[in-house]
Amino acid sequence: MKCLVAVLICVVLAEGVKVPLVRHKSMREALREKGIELPYQDPALKYRPEFATSAYMYINNYADTTYYGAISIGTPPQSFLVLFDTGSANLWVDSVYCNTKACNTHKKFNPQQSSTFTAKDQSFYLRYGTGSLYGIFGYDTVTIANIVIPKQEIGLSTKELTENFVLAKFDGILGLSYRALSAGGETPVMDNMIADNLLDENIFAFYLSREGKEGSVVSFGTVDTSLYRGYIYWTPVTTENWQIAVEGFQINGRETGWCSQGCQAIVDTGTALLAAPARFISGIMQVIGAKENQYGMFVVDCSQVDNLPVLYFVISGVPLPLPPSAYIIHQLLDGKPSCSVGIFPTFLPSSEPLWIFGDVFLREYYSIYDRTNNRVGFAEAV
C-alpha cells in the first residue's frame, strides 16, 4: 500500500498494517477549492509591518446586508469590527464616553488605555441612512491588516440617537470616500495611506460574497485577479463621493430611454440594496411584475424568478447586467418563503436621476477604487 506524501501520512500498527492518516487542509487549500486564491504575502512583515505596501483581509458577510471586518486602534491595540463603507469618509468607533444602548451593546474604545492617543477639541455629528450619532475627534494609530497608519483622525461616539446601531454587528464605520464627504473636514484613512506612501498603488478593492457565505475580501494597494474573470471596465468619477455616470438603463437588452439625458450613480458598499431614482420605481416594478404587500415590500412569485428580466446599466459604453438572481431577495415572511425585490427608491437631490449601487449590484462585480486616476473599475465577480 502506497501513500502520497503530499496528501496522507502513514502509520504502521503493531501488526504491520499501514493506516493512512488524513491531513487536514490548510486554509489556503480550502479556499482554493472555492475558487479563492490567497496572494503571497511576505511572512517577515509581521516583524516589520511598517514596510507593508498592501493589505488583503477577509471580511464578514452578515445576511448579505453588512460587510465588516477587524481593525485595531491605539497602543497597545484595541480591536474593533467596522463596516467598510465607500459611501462615507469618517472613521469612528463606539467609545467609553457613550452610554446609550447602542454603545453598551458593543465594544468601546478607551483612549486612556492608549499611549499614542491625542485628544482633539472638536465634536461632530454624523447622519447615515439608518442612524446618526454625536462624537468627538482624536488621533491615534490605526492598523488595518498589516498596514499601520500613525496619527489617524478617529471619531469617538458620545451619543447614538437611534436603535438601528443596537443590532449592528459592527462597533463603528470606516469611511472610504473622499475628504469632501468627511464631517469636520477630517482626513480619511485612505488619504493618510496615500500621504504616507503606504501603498504600492493608491487603490482599494472589494469582493462581496453571496448568500451570507464567507470569502468576502477588501484589499488596499492591490487587486486580486483570482476574484474576477474577464476585463476590468473603468469609468471616471464625476463627483468626489465615488459617483459615476450612467449612460443608459436597459431591460432585457432594450433601452428604456430613462437615462437618455444622463443618470448618475454612487457606488456604496455601505448600502445593502440597489436604490433607483424615485421616478423610475413604478416602471421597474411594473416590468418585473412585482406587487406591493402589506409591509410595503415589492414581491414576486418565487416560482417565476428565473423568468424575470435582466437589468443593464450602460457605463462608459459597456452594458453591465444585473440578473434577477441578484436583485431578488429570498427570505421567510410570516414563516413562508417570500421573494422581494432588492430595489428601493431614493429621493436624494441631484441634477440628474441618481442611483445608488449598493451590495445588490456590487455582489455581481469585483469593484476597484482608483484614487490616483479618480475612477472606478468593475469586473465580473467569480
**Catalytic choice (64, 85, 94, 171):** 85
64 catalytic? Reply is no
Options 64, 94, 191, 268, the catalytic residue: 268
Indicate the domain borders of the chain. 1-33, 56-220, 228-381
pLDDT at 36: 39
Whether residue 301 lies in the annotated active site: no
CATH of 56-220, one of 1.10.287.370, 3.40.50.300, 2.40.70.10, 3.40.50.720: 2.40.70.10
pLDDT attached to residue 53:
82
Q: What is the pLDDT of residue 350?
A: 87
In the sheet with 336-341, reading across from the earlier edge strand, the strands are 291-292, 298-300, 336-341, 328-333
Preceding omega of 76 cis (within 30 degrees of 0): yes
CA torsion through residues 310, 312, 318, 320, sign: negative
Can you give the pLDDT at residue 130?
77
With contact defined as beta carbons under 8 Å apart, do 67 and 210 qualify? no
**Is the pTM higher than 0.75?**
yes
pLDDT along the chain (382 residues), means of 10: 34 39 47 42 44 84 96 98 98 97 96 97 90 95 96 97 87 97 96 96 97 96 96 97 98 96 97 97 96 92 96 98 97 88 93 96 98 98 97
| CATH number for the domain whose boundaries are 228-381 | 2.40.70.10
Domains 56-220 and 228-381 share a fold: yes
Give CA–CA dist 133/153, Å, rounded: 17
